[in-house]
Structure 1
Amino acid sequence: MKKTPFLGLGLLAVVLAVLPFVLPNSFYLDLAVRMAINAIIVIGLNLLIGFAGQISLGHAGFLGIGAYASAVLPTHFGWHPLLALLTGAVASALLAALVARPIFKLKGHYLAMATLGLGIIINIALRNEAQWTGGPDGMAVPAMALFGIEISNDRQWYWVVAALLLVTVWASLNLIDSPFGRALRALHGSEVASQVVGVDVARYKGAIFVMSAFSASVMGSISAHYIGFISPAYADFFHSIELVTMVVIGGMASVYGSVVGAVLLTALPQALATFEGWETVAFGAILMLCMIFLPRGLVPTLAARFGKGE
């Protein structure tokens, strides 16, 4: 097992432990919470795209399922938030398992369009079931409670998502260094060669898709509880594209690249807000330059330049 990635985990733990004590105000703490939430989502998506080589342009749909499970079930049926969160995650995993085999028979832009269609269907369903979801206007989300303690402020949420981020990074590093992870990398390189050496391609594709959907749904629920409000925009196509962009900018097939991509692209819109209407242009220009000069993503490019692999 390589030591370098786990040294990075220790450094990440130190940064997360110190960060809330050096941030100047609650605005930056809120931004840090959103960065951590996005980082966890993007790590799961990178396992699917970067390591397994399977594109998903509708991943925000699974976020929407989790978010609305945590809004609808406690509000309309009185469920405990943790039970609602788990139910949403299981529902997302079952949906992913159901569609994985037919979808992953496709390749290239056909696969991209199929996953895009899945995300659009979920988004439309959330918009149309207005009696349960509030329709396009969205709905409030009850507070989360753990062991009888309500999580209500940014600092409490920070420690929750920071712990989840560390666990996610640790689990992902172990996963990609396991036989399962090596099988994912093999089918990314060549599905035919993988089949020749005995890899069940369909099973591995389906498994990583289910894992990624489950993770996205859990974080959709947590994000909904943190924000306190949810709308169908959270599950739309543009959010899916934003998540994929985080994967690409940070670095595909890079766990720490996922974290870096999520941090940068969560903070960037805030940094560009002073451009007064030109922030979208500036955002697009930065992304274009990254793709031209850093086609492998930030972390893999820098790691290769300094002679260290992840």
Structure 2
Amino acid sequence: MLKGALQSRWATLAVLALVMAVVPLIAPSAFYLRVAALVWIFALAALGLTILMGYAGQVSLGHAGFLGIGAYGVAIGPTHLGLSPLLSLALAAVLSGVIAYLVGRPILRLKGYYLAIATLGFGLILALIFQSESAVTGGPDGMAVARLTVFGWRITGATQWYWVNAGVLLVGAWIALNIADSPSGRALRALHDSEVAAAGAGVDVAAKKLAAFVAAAVYAAIAGGLLACMNGLITPDAASFMHSVEFVAMVIIGGLGSVLGAVVGAAFLIVLPQALTSLQEYEQAVLGLLIMVFMIVLPTGIVPSLRNWLAERLS
């Protein structure tokens, strides 16, 4: 069983690494590399939500708020505190985890729709803070963000950001896969199926849900920091409710609980709108229709459905 888990884990990482290696070879220009770099960033945030929703079964509609904490962290740190962007990113990830811990303790006592509404309220509060605290966050106009420098290497250009984001996503995927195959991951899946049964089996339900919530927040904060540094600008829109909905959609469309599904879902919602720009005013309608069709035809998500289809053909 352990051998099979290891093979599955390394197979997933190998597929992801292969895709990352092939994309620059077929990308016709730097614009496509930048789009791919955005896919890796949003896939990283979706990975955190995969741990929370796919593993632990807890719904969050405020995930973009944590992305905003990471994004504004790398902006505020250098501007107001004189910190380096890299240190600011690390501190923003820690801050996001601490806030998730403090907020998660009371709201994770809720279940189902009540939990979703509570996380929605938290996300709206953060978005309002980013919007209104002009002296610190720049208000609606946002803030300029210093370029990220790692050991004297200043990261610029689509190609460099592509590989940086790809590397961070690969590490994030490795961590998520290890969590899934660990005793904690099995405990999370147990409470996903039934919190009562998991508690009866000796799982500390409250602690496991809180740990998943903190992990999701840290993933989102790192993704937000990378997004802000790559764009060189951050606005309150990064923490908007619609981005939270998009993250949930990425996880569900790609496949709930699937690491590759989070990446595929992110690619679906980032790349497809770019491909539909020629439709102009019909773009959003066609995108919505395609999402509906995918969910009807592939109700378990793209990756699990394709995996089951291949298993049936090979059996």
Residue of structure 1 in register with 2:264 after alignment: 260
Structure 1 residue 214: deviation in Å?
0.8
Residue of structure 1 in register with 2:57 after alignment: 53
Per the alignment, in what secondary structure is the counterpart of residue 167 of structure 1? helix
Residue of structure 2 in register with 1:62 after alignment: 66
Spell out, residue by residue over 1:180-227, the C-alpha distance to the aligned partner (whole angstroms, 9 max, x if none): 100000000000000011000000000010011011101101110001
Per the alignment, in what secondary structure is the counterpart of residue 4 of structure 1? helix
Spell out, residue by residue over 1:234-253, the C-alpha distance to the aligned partner (whole angstroms, 9 max, x if none): 00100100111000100001
* % identical equivalent positions: 50
For 2:179 and 2:300, how far apart are their aligned partners in 1?
22
For 1:67 and 1:88, how far apart are their aligned partners in 2?
8
Which of 91, 111, 124 matches 1:107? Answer: 111
Residue of structure 2 in register with 1:96 after alignment: 100
Structure 1 residue 47: deviation in Å?
0.8
TM-score normalised by L of structure 2: 0.95
Residue of structure 1 in register with 2:12 after alignment: 8
Structure 1 residue 77: deviation in Å?
2.0
For 1:272 and 1:14, how far apart are their aligned partners in 2?
26
Which of 128, 134, 138 matches 1:124? Answer: 128
Q: Which amino acid aligns with 1:254?
A: S
Query: Please, which moves more after superposition, 132-141 or 183-192?
Result: 132-141
Query: Please, which moves more after superposition, 46-55 or 69-78?
Result: 69-78
Residue of structure 2 in register with 1:274 after alignment: 278
Residue of structure 2 in register with 1:162 after alignment: 166
Q: Which amino acid aligns with 1:57?
A: L
Q: Which runs of 5+ in 1 are unaligned?
A: none
Residue of structure 1 in register with 2:79 after alignment: 75
Residue of structure 2 in register with 1:17 after alignment: 21
- Measured on the aligned residues, the alpha-carbon RMSD in Å equals 1.1
Per the alignment, in what secondary structure is the counterpart of residue 277 of structure 1? helix
Structure 1 residue 291: deviation in Å?
1.8
For 1:34 and 1:306, how far apart are their aligned partners in 2?
29
Which of 270, 283, 290 matches 2:287? Answer: 283
Q: Which runs of 5+ in 2 are unaligned?
A: none
Query: Please, which moves more after superposition, 229-238 or 162-171?
Result: 162-171
Per the alignment, in what secondary structure is the counterpart of residue 46 of structure 2? helix
- Write the mapping of 1:187-206 to structure 2, written as runs, cut at 5 A: 187-206=191-210
Per the alignment, in what secondary structure is the counterpart of residue 154 of structure 2? strand
- Write the mapping of 1:133-212 to structure 2, written as runs, cut at 5 A: 133-212=137-216
TM-score normalised by L of structure 1: 0.97
Number of corresponding residues: 308
| Aligned: 1:248 with 2:257 | no
Conserved 8 A contact 2:31-2:158: no
Structure 1 residue 295: deviation in Å?
1.3
Conserved 8 A contact 2:16-2:260: no
For 1:97 and 1:13, how far apart are their aligned partners in 2?
32
Spell out, residue by residue over 1:11-42, the C-alpha distance to the aligned partner (whole angstroms, 9 max, x if none): 22122123223311011010110011111111
Moved over 6 A (4+): none
Residue of structure 1 in register with 2:48 after alignment: 44
For 2:116 and 2:12, how far apart are their aligned partners in 1?
33
Per the alignment, in what secondary structure is the counterpart of residue 280 of structure 1? helix
For 2:250 and 2:86, how far apart are their aligned partners in 1?
28
Q: Which amino acid aligns with 1:241?
A: V
Spell out, residue by residue over 1:264-296, the C-alpha distance to the aligned partner (whole angstroms, 9 max, x if none): 111011011111111110111111112222111
Conserved 8 A contact 2:155-2:161: yes
Spell out, residue by residue over 1:40-61, the C-alpha distance to the aligned partner (whole angstroms, 9 max, x if none): 1111111101110000001000
Residue of structure 2 in register with 1:228 after alignment: 232
Structure 1 residue 73: deviation in Å?
1.4
